[in-house]
């Protein structure tokens, strides 16, 4: 009997110890559980050059082997960084920039703590202070959705427009030719979308609820509208899906070729380098955008016109300095996780 009690006591202590250890492991900072965790995505940087400040984007990802990679993106172009390391909150990398026959090397050393990035970018020309914070990500559900559903024997088509404000709060508009709709109680989390729809047509009013999700790895939305009259299956496709995503551009002029990034959001707003674009136009396979930048008293206009075909973007970029050829390839993230054994 004594032995049985002793075995139970030992077993209970072992279980408690295992729970405590597991909790400690889970509670450790992301940097201590493996390089790069909590790091991936874009960071908005401000780099001090004397009295001037340059806005840049530091973007972290993994390559096909699962190794940490990074790009530094600014008004001038995109640089693939070298020797990228992130351990115990400490970040370092090397940047090599080429202008014609000239090559310039800079090294960065800094830290990431509590969502803030700080450090120094050093070269033979001196040091530049760097400060940054994580870029706010646009929720995946944001954009225009072409939704189809059947009422009785008739197939209906509407447009579901979902927007996000600067704080990330979501609003929606269900656009229909004959029915007035108001969307409330909108919630989106981990691919799951829910909302309440209040509808009015003439003197008739009714309310329905929607529960659905964005199918993983696709631009398709599926779910059910439920009301007192029953359930209706809803299928949706994202408008502009072939263009939405990240593009790596090669821009060629008489001076040579440089790389740049175009990131098109779900609502067809975009970032060309660090320049914000209100909307990228897509009509059939034709793509265009225009942006105007103000530097002091000078105004610079940039416009693009091109075509989209099979994950490839080709066209011409026009500025006050002339016209340049553009060839872009859509970035598809594909990597295997690093082995922990």
Q: List the single range of 21-25, 44-48, 198-202 with lowest mean pLDDT.
A: 21-25
- Summarize the confidence of residues 114-139 as an average pLDDT: 94
Tens of pLDDT, residues 67-113: 999 999 998 899 999 999 999 999 999 999 887 778 889 999 999 99
Single pTM value for the model:
0.82
Q: Reduce the DSSP state of residue 341 to 3 states and report it.
A: coil
Q: Where are the domains of the chain?
A: 32-134, 143-238, 245-330
- Overall average pLDDT of the 134-162 stretch: 93
CA dist., res. 207 & res. 31, Å (int) = 48
Tens digits of per-residue pLDDT, 168-196?
A: 899 999 999 889 999 999 999 999 999 99
* Fold: same for 32-134 and 245-330: yes
Q: How do 143-151 and 154-164 pair as beta strands?
A: antiparallel
Nearest residue to 308 (alpha-carbon basis) of 287, 289, 324: 287
pLDDT greater than 90 at residue 217: no
pLDDT at 253 over 80: yes
**CATH code given to domain 245-330:** 2.40.128.380
Q: Edge-to-edge strand order for the sheet containing 220-227?
A: 170-175, 154-164, 143-151, 230-238, 220-227, 204-214, 192-201, 180-189
Mean of the pLDDT values across residues 225-229?
A: 93
Fold of 32-134: Lipocalin (2.40.128)
- 8-12, 43-47, 100-104: segment of lowest average pLDDT: 8-12
Q: Which among 86, 79, 11, 82 is positioned nearest to 47, based on CA atoms?
A: 79
* Residue reference for tokens 């703590």: 113
- CATH code for the structural domain at 143-238: 2.40.128
Alpha-carbon distance of 244 to 105, in angstroms, equals 34
- Identify the residue with better confidence: 239 or 153: 239
Mean per-residue pLDDT, 102-130: 93
Given this model, what pLDDT does residue 334 score?
A: 57
- The DSSP annotation for 38-88 comes to TT-EEEEEEEEETTEEEEEEEEEEE-TTS-EEEEEEETTEEEE-EEEEEET
Whether residue 341 is predicted with pLDDT greater than 50 in this model: the reply is: no
State the pLDDT at residue 101.
74
């Amino acid at each position: 009997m004594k032995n049985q009690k002793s075995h139970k006591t030992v077993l209970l202590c072992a279980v408690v110890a295992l729970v405590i250890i597991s909790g400690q492991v889970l509670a450790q900072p992301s940097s201590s559980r493996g390089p790069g965790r909590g790091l991936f995505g874009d960071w908005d940087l401000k780099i001090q050059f004397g009295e001037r400040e340059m806005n840049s984007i530091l973007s972290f990802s993994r390559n096909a082997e699962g190794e940490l990679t990074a790009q530094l993106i600014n008004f001038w172009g995109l640089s693939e960084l070298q020797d990228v390391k992130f351990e115990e909150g400490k970040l370092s990398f090397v940047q090599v920039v080429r202008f014609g026959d000239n090559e310039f090397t800079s090294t960065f050393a800094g830290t990431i703590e509590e969502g803030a990035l700080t450090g120094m970018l050093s070269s033979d020309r001196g040091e530049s202070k760097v400060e940054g914070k994580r870029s706010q990500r646009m929720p995946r559900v944001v954009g225009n959705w072409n939704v189809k559903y059947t009422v009785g024997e008739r197939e209906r088509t509407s447009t579901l427009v979902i927007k996000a404000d600067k704080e990330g709060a979501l609003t929606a508009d269900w656009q229909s030719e004959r029915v007035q709709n108001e969307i409330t109680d909108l919630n989106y989390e981990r691919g799951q979308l829910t909302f309440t729809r209040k509808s009015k047509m003439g003197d008739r009013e009714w309310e329905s609820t929607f529960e659905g999700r964005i199918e993983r790895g696709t631009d398709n939305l599926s779910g059910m509208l439920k009301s007192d009259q029953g359930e209706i299956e809803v299928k949706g496709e994202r408008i502009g899906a072939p263009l939405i995503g990240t593009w790596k551009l090669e821009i060629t002029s008489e001076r040579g070729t440089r790389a740049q990034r175009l990131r098109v959001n779900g609502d067809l707003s975009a970032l060309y380098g660090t320049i914000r674009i209100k909307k990228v136009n897509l009509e059939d396979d034709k793509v265009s955008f225009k942006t105007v930048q103000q530097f002091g008293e000078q105004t610079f206009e940039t416009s693009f016109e091109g075509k989209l075909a099979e994950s490839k973007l080709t066209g011409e970029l026009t500025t006050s300095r002339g016209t340049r050829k553009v060839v872009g390839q859509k970035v598809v993230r594909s990597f295997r996780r690093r082995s922990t054994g």
